[in-house]
Amino acid sequence: MVDIERQNNACCTGDSCSGLSSIQTGLQSLEETIQSEVCCGSPPGPRSNPLEKPGFKLLNFVTDFKDSAWGPVPRVKTQLTGSDHLGTLIARLGIKRDQYIIAPGLYCVGNPDQDSPVLVTANYKLTFDSLRQELTALDAWLLVLDTRGINVWCAAGKALFSTREVVDRVKQTMLNKVVRHSQLILPQLGATGVSAHQVKKASGFKVIWGPVRANDIRRFIAADNRIEKSMRQVTFSIRERTVLIPVELSHLPKASFWVLLAVFFLSGIGTSFFSFNDAWYRGLLALAAYAGGILAGAVAAPVFLPWIPGRAFALKGALTGVVVGLAVVLLFKSGLIWMETMALLLITVAISSYLAMNFTGSTPFTSPSGVEKEMRRAIPLQAGAVLIALVAWVSAAFVG
Amino acid sequence: MENFRYLAGVTTLQLDSEGCVGCGVCESVCPHSVFRMNAKKAEIDDLDGCMECGACAQNCAAGAIRVTPGVGCASYIIQTWIKGKETAGCCST
C-alpha cells in the first residue's frame, strides 16, 4: 500500500531520485496498472532510491553509505554538481546564508579503512564543499563539527569550532573504533578555538594542524602531514576580496530604507515649507551621493584595498569616497550651488569611510585593538561630516 | 600578506620567554608568522603582524603567551559599545 501511495503522490511533482535503477518487485504489475491510469499527463518518476529511509532526506552529494564500527557512514562525492554551485552562489549573495548547513557527524570519501586519515571541518556547506572537492581519489574520514553553519575561522572565534566540540564529536562518532590510529587533522585556522593539548587530554586524539586552505590538503597528506610555510599563512587576494562584496551589500537595504526616507524628507524642506517637487529632485541628488558612498566604501575599497594609501580602513574609505564623490558632483554640477556641492561630497565621503571601516570584519588581518582604535577616531569625524552635510543641504534650499 | 599591514603598535600580544618551553606550537598555528623559533625558544618576529586571533595563546600548553583575543570587526565593536560584550553578535559567517 505504501508503494502505491508513493506513486500516486509522485506523479504530479515529477520529483525524481535519480542514480539507481528501480528494483524489480512483485508489485511491478500493479505499478504498471497505476502508470496507465495517468492522473495529469506526465508519467511518474522513477522508484524511490533504495538508500532512502523514512524520516530522512537523501542528499544529492551522498553516493552511498559505507559500513563502519559506528554504523553506516555517508560517502560523499568529490565533485561539485550544479545544485552545489547554485547553493554557493545563493550563500555568497547573503541569502539564507545562516541556513546553509549540513548535519554534523562522520562522513567519508573514497574507501577509507581503519588507517585512513580523519579530516575535521565545519558544517557550513560552503566549507564542506571546498574541502570535499579537493579529495578526489583520496580515502579519508571527514568529521564534521556542529559550527551552526559558520566557517572554520569565524566559528573558532565564536568558540563553536572548539575543544569541547571536537572532543564530543569524537566520542559521539566512536572514532576510536572507526580508526586504529589516534590522529585528527584540523585546519590551522581552527586553532583559535581548539586547544590541541586539551583535545589530547580529553579524547586521546592528537591534533595535527593542517593547511589553512583546503586546496593544499592533498599535498599535505601526500607529504606525510608535513607542512610548508605557504600553507600556514592566510591570503587575501583580489578574488577572495571580491566574493565578499555581495554579502557586504546585503547588509545595507534595511538601513538604507530609513536613510533614504529621511533624505527625501529633508530634501523637500525649503522656502515654501515643504515641496514635493524638491523632495523628489533634490532627494535624487542625495540618493546619487549615497549610492556613490556605497560604491566607494563597500565595492571600491575592498577591491583596491592594498593599493589605497593609509592603514586605517576609515581613511582608505574616505579616499575612495573623495574620488567617487567628486565624480558625482561633477556629473550634476550645473544644478548645484557650492553648499550643495559640499554637502553631497561630505555625504559620499562619510558613507564610504564608514562602510570601509565595517569591512574590517571581513578581512583576515585586522586586530580588534586596531579596529577599536581607528573607530574611536573615525566615528566622530564621520558623524560630524554627516551633520555638516545635512545642515548645508537643508540651508541651501533657503539660500538658493 | 606583506601587502596588508594594519595599524602598528596596538596588539595586546605578550610572550613570556621565561615560561616558554620551546615546543614551537605558536609558530605553527599563527596565520601571520608572528613567531619564530630561535635556540629552543619562541621569539616575536613580527609583532605588528598580529591580528589577535588568539590561536597561539589557546595552544600554548605552558601558558607563556597572553593576548586579548577578539573579532576585528567594526559592527561587532559598535554592538559591544551599545549592548555590552555578552549580548553583542557578529554578522559574518
pLDDT of residue A359: 95
User: Average model confidence (pLDDT) for chain A?
Assistant: 89
pLDDT of residue A375: 95
pLDDT of residue A50: 87
Cβ-defined contact of B93 to A98 (cutoff 8 Å): yes
pLDDT at B73 over 90: no
Percent residues over pLDDT 90 in chain B: 67
Q: Where are the domains of chain A?
A: 1-57, 62-234, 240-399
Q: Which residues contact A110 (CB under 8 A, 6 or more apart)?
A: A75, A78, A116, A135, A137, A138, A139, A140
Cβ-defined contact of A362 to B92 (cutoff 8 Å): yes
- Among A93-102, A130-139, A223-232, B79-88, which stretch is predicted with the lowest mean pLDDT? B79-88
Its CATH class, for the domain covering B14-83, is alpha beta
Across residues B31-54, what is the average pLDDT? 94
Q: What is the tens place of the pLDDT at every residue in A8-63? A: 333 333 344 443 344 444 444 445 555 555 566 778 888 888 888 899 889 999 99
A229 touches chain B (CB under 8 A): yes
pLDDT at B20 over 80: yes
Across residues A135-151, what is the average pLDDT? 96
Residues of A in contact with B29 (CB under 8 A): 188, 191, 209
Residue A400 pLDDT class (50, 70, 90 cuts): low
Q: Which of A158, A247, A311 sits opposite B7 (nearest CB)?
A: A311
Give the helix/strand (H/E) hosting B35. Answer: strand B35-38
Residue A252 pLDDT class (50, 70, 90 cuts): very high
pLDDT at A203 over 90: yes
Cβ-defined contact of B90 to A363 (cutoff 8 Å): no
Cβ-defined contact of A311 to B30 (cutoff 8 Å): no
pLDDT at A153 over 60: yes
Across residues A255-274, what is the average pLDDT? 91
Cβ-defined contact of A367 to B68 (cutoff 8 Å): no
For residue A149, give Cα distances in angstroms to A143, A211, A359: 14, 21, 21
pLDDT of residue A41: 74
Its CATH class, for the domain covering A62-234, is alpha beta
pLDDT of residue A48: 86
pLDDT of residue B18: 94
Across residues B53-60, what is the average pLDDT? 96
Size of interface A-B (CB pairs under 8 A): 143
Q: Which of B3, B56, B71 sits opposite A361 (nearest CB)?
A: B71
pLDDT of residue A5: 39
Residue A169 pLDDT class (50, 70, 90 cuts): very high
Q: What is the tens place of the pLDDT at every residue in A303-320? A: 999 999 999 999 999 999
Partner B, chain A 79-138, Cβ-Cβ below 8 Å: 97-98, 124
Closest CA to B31 of A360, A194, A213, A218: A213
Cβ-defined contact of B74 to A375 (cutoff 8 Å): yes
Cβ-defined contact of A371 to B72 (cutoff 8 Å): yes
Percent residues over pLDDT 90 in chain A: 75
pLDDT of residue A4: 38
Q: Which residues of B touch A (CB under 8 A)?
A: 1, 3-8, 10-12, 25, 28-33, 49-56, 58-59, 61, 68-78, 90-93
Residues of A in contact with B59 (CB under 8 A): 191, 194-197
A367 touches chain B (CB under 8 A): yes
Partner B, chain A 290-309, Cβ-Cβ below 8 Å: 305-306
A157 touches chain B (CB under 8 A): yes
Q: Which residues contact A120 (CB under 8 A, 6 or more apart)?
A: A142, A143, A144, A145, A166, A184, A185, A186, A187, A190
Q: What is the pTM of this model?
A: 0.82
pLDDT at A339 over 70: yes
pLDDT of residue A52: 87
pLDDT of residue A16: 41
Across residues B30-53, what is the average pLDDT? 94
